[in-house]
A = this chain, B = another copy of it.
Amino acid sequence: MKEKITVIKVGGKIVEEGASLAALLDRFAAIEGRKVLIHGGGRSATRIAEQLGIESKMVDGRRITDGETLKVVTMVYGGLVNKNIVAGLQARGVNALGLTGADCNIIKAHKRPVKSIDYGFVGDVECADGDMLSRLIEQGITPIVAPLTHDGKGNILNTNADTMAAETAKALAPIYDTTLIYCFELPGVMRNQEDADSLITTITCESYKQLLADGTISGGMIPKMENAFNAINNGVSKVIITKADAIEGTNGTHIIA
């Protein structure tokens, strides 16, 4: 029987504020067994960019990453946000190791081809190295992954954390019984965001089509759902979308293959 592993993705907002970060780290530290954390950091990047006089250009929630913006996200995601999480987890007895995709070559990507929009130094993930991650994890290490990859030619690439989480979970799935948890600000996918009782507890491939058609799922939730289905259709045992204060539980929306 495979050992269990929990892969958790948390958005920038949670890890960028002192109180919510501390609460998250307490909860993450309490999760038993093997685990991986993948984090965002977009709000800090926007703030630091602004302080440096660099304008943040977003298209459909994705950051246009020119050379100067790449420096900012490399600093903020790989340095400021990542290392504060690592130090905070070490203080809680978790042997955390901060990683970008470049470190140990764990996630390789290529620069997104220019079509209608030039996203700049943004990475489309090619593959995650589950064997390498597993070798680290079996040393008692907990990987903390920043949303940066590399192209193997010396360039760091700004990369969507949801995608990195799905690819990491997929890469670990042949080795571990893998649960992927996407944390965000809501208790899960809601029929009506104003109504706390409208949580959708399971979404199948079929019901997803319906939820798309009736507009229940739209905008930024669509790529998150695509990543969730990508994971569940490629060996990941469980995929759950839930609130950050529920990462240890099984509440939220379960994605079913």
Which 8 pairs, one residue from A and one from B, show the smallest C-beta to C-beta distance? A79-B79, A75-B75, A91-B154, A78-B79, A75-B79, A87-B102, A87-B150, A75-B80
- Smallest Cβ distance from A83 to chain B, in angstroms? 5
The 8 A CB mask of A74-86 against B (1 = contact, 0 = none) is 1111111011101
Most buried by B among A74, A76, A83, A148: A83
- The residues in A between 36 and 55 inclusive whose CB is less than 8 angstroms from any CB of B are 48, 51-53
- Smallest Cβ distance from A195 to chain B, in angstroms? 38
A186 within 8 A of B: no
- The residues in A between 60 and 95 inclusive whose CB is less than 8 angstroms from any CB of B are 71, 74-80, 82-84, 86-88, 90-91, 95
Contact B103 A96 (CB under 8 A): yes
Contacts of A48 in B (CB 8 A): 52, 75
- A54: nearest chain-B partner, CB-CB: B51
**Which of B96, B98, B105, B148 is the one whose CB lies under 8 Å from A90?**
B105
A139 to B103, CA, bound (A): 13
Contacts of A51 in B (CB 8 A): 51-53
